[in-house]
Amino acid sequence: MALSEEVLDGLATQAWAEWFGDAVQPVDTHRWVNDHHLYLAGDRHTGFVYQFAWFAAMGLMRLRQREGERAFEGRYRAFLSGMHAGDVAGLMRTHFDVDLAAPDFWSGALALVSERVDRLEACLDDATS
């Protein structure tokens, strides 16, 4: 299925409203276009760094869903505060008791991605029907 610019802009506007509400104006409907470096097939280094960070963020979001906002927030703030002093694997272990070499953290991240893909497909079905 081909997606038109109008459909992608509409989905971006909807997502923007869900995430930011009225707090950020104007709506950046073309944000999906601006991150061109994510689509460079030959740039493996940049792609790996961004994808690792994105999947790690998805894993943290899954932890946040399981623990709840209040329980997660303090540990997340401590994690961010320690970014200057350690490597990601050590910080994840210290603040979230996560072993990045263990598959369960990444499985949780992939489950969240799968849920989002299902939501995207539902939005696309609604937008194109």
Residue linked to tokens 């994808």: 51
Residues 6+ apart with CB under 8 A from 93: 99, 100
Could you tell me which of 75, 62, 66, 73 has the C-alpha nearest to residue 109?
Answer: 62
Residues 19 and 53 in one domain: no
Determine the structural domain holding residue 60 and report its residue range. Answer: 42-128
CA–CA dist 106, 5 (Å, integer)? 32
> What tens digit of pLDDT does each residue of 95-105 get?
999 999 999 99
Residues 53 and 99 in one domain: yes
Residues 21 and 65 in one domain: no
Residues 95 and 59 in one domain: yes
Q: Sign (positive/negative) of CA torsion 14, 120, 40, 106?
A: positive
> What tens digit of pLDDT does each residue of 11-66 get?
878 887 887 777 777 777 776 666 666 556 666 666 677 788 888 999 999 999 99
Residues 3 and 51 in one domain: no
Supply the pLDDT for residue 41: 62
Residues 52 and 85 in one domain: yes
Say how many domains are in the chain. Answer: 2
Residues 61 and 99 in one domain: yes
Residues 6+ apart with CB under 8 A from 46: 37, 40
